[in-house]
Amino acid sequence: MAVKFQYNKVSMQVLQKELKIRMVALPTLKSKEAYLRITIKKEKYRLDDLKTALDTLRMGIGESEQLFSEFPIPSLTVSSVEYDSDNIAGITIPVLGGIGFSESSPSPVLDPSWLSWGRTTVKKLIRAVSEIDVAENRVDLLEYARKKTTQKVNLYEKVQIPEFAEAVLKIKRYLEDVENLEKAAQKITKAKQMAAAGLS
């Protein structure tokens, strides 16, 4: 959409103000975009590390995985999940806090000997999967913010700044032309008046 303006000083001042706002904001937006790109890379590396850690944990269970078919599910439940938030370049992203578990057992004497290990392992698995979910969410939010910032950088740099600058230049040229025409008209009028005064 082309910039709408009138050929007068007020319109030129408004355009100059808008142009200045964008010129000042552009370096900040570019810095934000670069910072988000770096942060996204770090978050993706962290996500890969979390997935690797989960795979390692699962491999560590090995043959014992068959025991989980006998795991008494009601004996361990997630009672609470706490989230915190982090602020990266003005974007609020989640941070996984503590995960609370409730353990119950109708008869600890009758519990299989591996149940204590099983509960600890399940807690680790839940924590690992939750960390991955939060990390994926963080990457998604940062990617979205980076995309929006890139769009704004492109809008300012490739569209609005050139359009505002061109509009200001057009108004300046127009006002200069009007001023030159007025001066020329005054000279002609003055010359005519002097000529008329010389004749009489």
For residue 3, the model assigns a pLDDT of 81
**Residues 55-94: pLDDT tens digits?**
999 998 888 877 777 777 777 889 999 999 999 989 999 9
Is 118 a domain residue?
yes
Domain of residue 81 covers: 9-194
Is 1 a domain residue?
no
Is 170 a domain residue?
yes
Mean pLDDT of 26-34: 96
Residue 114 carries which DSSP code? T
Is 199 a domain residue?
no
How confident is residue 198, by pLDDT bands cut at 50, 70 and 90? low
Residue 3 carries which DSSP code? P
Q: What's the CATH number where 55 sits?
A: 1.10.287.3240
Is 121 a domain residue?
yes
d(CA 55, CA 132): 12
Conformational region of residue 81, where left means phi above 0, alpha means psi within -120 to 50, and beta covers everything else: beta
**Residues 146-175: pLDDT tens digits?**
999 999 999 999 999 999 999 999 999 999
How confident is residue 192, by pLDDT bands cut at 50, 70 and 90? confident
| Number of domains within the chain | 1
Instruction: Say if residues 120 and 72 touch (Cβ distance below 8 Å).
Output: no
